[in-house]
């Protein structure tokens, strides 16, 4: 029986080409991106373009450990790849079907203890090495003892946004986490307790730490220590419903001084601006106040993001929309057009009412 002409099959070089393009594209993107600079007001476009969710640019010790494991695995599989494909290519050429073979198969060999032992023990050792290295990395990250000056954050995953409580400082905010950089030259880590208000989410900041599931009825932990200032981005990494893909994470790493100033502002109650009495009243009288909290007012809802210092945030809707007057108007008029399926309803307000509410919200600095 004539053998199929394997050497003429175009699938192998094609597959290699695709792999190469995908991988080099990823590396190129990784090397081009840096943490988003502060000060730039985000746009819809910049928010998605500036996202860096590649693990190849670690900026924090746990992320560096993860990247190291990645490169080790990549190195090992590359060697295996060469061990398989170099002899394979050579054999395809060297032992290709020739005319004088007249379609006769070469002698078939069955059963060889040394060969079978080699291809069982070899891969077994490789799996063992990968297991040990991975386990060591996990324990190394988890065993880290929080220093006395570590910042504690309680993270609560909601469909589809993130709640951040800073228990030591006594305030709650949403979607944009602030983290201090090194203090007196030593990194100031952020220790995070992960909880869920509804379904399973996963907290993942590729440049800062590994990913950890956020499970209802359970508290998981994670830590990071950002080394460079700027905005870091992440993503909920466990399918949690319609807007899972729009459950972005944003972390601002800033100097100790800026962090302190931010904390001091967040700790204050909202200042009531009497010029926006009407918008304030509309907010309190409509269902807004049942879901949102504005400290210093009667609004004390726990179901939706705390809005006490809404305007200190650059984005709304879990990082996907710039926090500007224009988008706030659109958002309140009908959130479902910007984030389909989200739990904020269309309140059926008139345009004039929406404007008044937004003008009031704009005072929440």
Phi, psi values for residue 107, rounded to 5°: -60, 135
CB of 249 to ligand CUA, least distance (A): 10
Cα 252 from Cα 250, distance rounded (Å): 7
Q: Left if phi > 0, otherwise alpha if psi is -120 to 50, otherwise beta: which for 39?
A: left
Report if residue 234 touches ligand CUA, rule: CB under 6 A.
Answer: no
Q: Which of residues 160-189 bind ligand CUA (CB under 6 A)?
A: 160
Tell which one of 66, 222, 247, 354 touches ligand CUA (CB under 6 A): 247
Tell which one of 23, 71, 139, 239 touches ligand CUA (CB under 6 A): 239
Residues 6+ apart with CB under 8 A from 362: 311, 325, 328
Report if residue 215 touches ligand CUA, rule: CB under 6 A.
Answer: no
Cα 203 from Cα 83, distance rounded (Å): 38
Tell which one of 151, 240, 321, 328 touches ligand CUA (CB under 6 A): 240
Q: Which of residues 291-310 bind ligand CUA (CB under 6 A)?
A: none
CB of 119 to ligand CUA, least distance (A): 40
On whether the CB atoms of residues 224 and 212 are closer than 8 A, the answer is no
**What is the bridge-based pairing of β-strands 161-166 and 230-235?**
unpaired
Report if residue 201 touches ligand CUA, rule: CB under 6 A.
Answer: yes
Point out which span in 93-101, 164-172, 218-226, 240-248 binds ligand CUA (CB under 6 A): 240-248
Task: Report the alpha-carbon angle 307-347-313, nearest 5.
Answer: 25
Break the chain down into helix, strand, coil percent, rounded to 5.
45, 20, 40
CB of 161 to ligand CUA, least distance (A): 9
Cα 335 from Cα 312, distance rounded (Å): 20
Taking the least distance from each CB to ligand CUA, the nearer of 159 and 173 is 159
Taking the least distance from each CB to ligand CUA, the nearer of 64 and 244 is 244
Which of these, 63, 59, 55, lies nearest to 35 by C-alpha position?
Answer: 59
Phi, psi values for residue 321, rounded to 5°: -130, 135
Tell which one of 62, 157, 210, 279 touches ligand CUA (CB under 6 A): 157
Report if residue 238 touches ligand CUA, rule: CB under 6 A.
Answer: yes
Taking the least distance from each CB to ligand CUA, the nearer of 151 and 156 is 156
Binding residues for ligand CUA (CB under 6 A)? 157, 160, 201, 236, 238-240, 244, 247
């Amino acid at each position: 029986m004539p053998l199929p002409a394997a050497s003429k099959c175009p699938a192998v070089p094609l597959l290699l080409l695709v792999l190469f393009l995908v991988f080099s594209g990823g590396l190129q993107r990784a090397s081009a991106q840096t943490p988003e600079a502060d000060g730039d007001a985000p746009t819809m476009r910049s928010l998605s373009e500036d996202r860096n969710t590649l693990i190849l640019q670690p900026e924090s010790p746990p992320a560096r450990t993860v990247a190291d494991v990645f490169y080790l695995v990549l190195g090992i599989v590359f060697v295996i790849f060469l061990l398989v494909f170099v002899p394979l290519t050579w054999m395809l050429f060297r032992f290709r079907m020739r005319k004088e073979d007249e379609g006769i198969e070469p002698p078939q060999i069955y059963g060889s203890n040394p060969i079978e032992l080699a291809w069982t023990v070899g891969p077994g050792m490789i799996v063992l090495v990968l297991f040990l290295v991975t386990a060591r990395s996990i324990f190394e990250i988890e065993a880290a003892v929080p220093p006395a000056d570590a910042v504690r954050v309680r993270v609560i995953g909601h469909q589809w946004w993130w709640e951040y409580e800073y228990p030591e400082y006594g305030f709650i905010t949403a979607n944009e986490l602030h983290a201090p950089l090194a203090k007196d030259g030593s990194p100031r880590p952020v220790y995070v307790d992960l909880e869920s208000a509804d379904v399973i989410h996963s907290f993942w900041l590729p440049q800062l730490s590994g990913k950890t599931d956020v499970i209802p009825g359970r508290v998981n932990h994670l830590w990071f220590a950002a080394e460079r200032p700027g905005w870091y981005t992440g993503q909920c990494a466990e399918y949690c419903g319609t807007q899972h893909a729009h459950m972005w994470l944003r972390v601002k790493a800033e100097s100790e001084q800026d962090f302190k100033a931010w904390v001091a502002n967040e700790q204050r109650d909202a200042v009531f601006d009497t010029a926006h009495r009407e918008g304030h009243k509309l907010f309190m009288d409509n269902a807004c106040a049942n879901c949102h909290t504005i400290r210093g007012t009667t609004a004390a809802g726990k179901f939706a993001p705390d809005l006490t210092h809404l305007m200190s945030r650059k984005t709304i809707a879990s990082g996907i929309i710039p926090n500007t007057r224009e988008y706030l108007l659109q958002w309140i008029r009908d959130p479902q057009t910007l984030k389909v399926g989200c739990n904020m309803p269309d309140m059926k307000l008139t345009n004039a009412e929406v404007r008044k509410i937004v003008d009031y919200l704009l005072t929440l600095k």
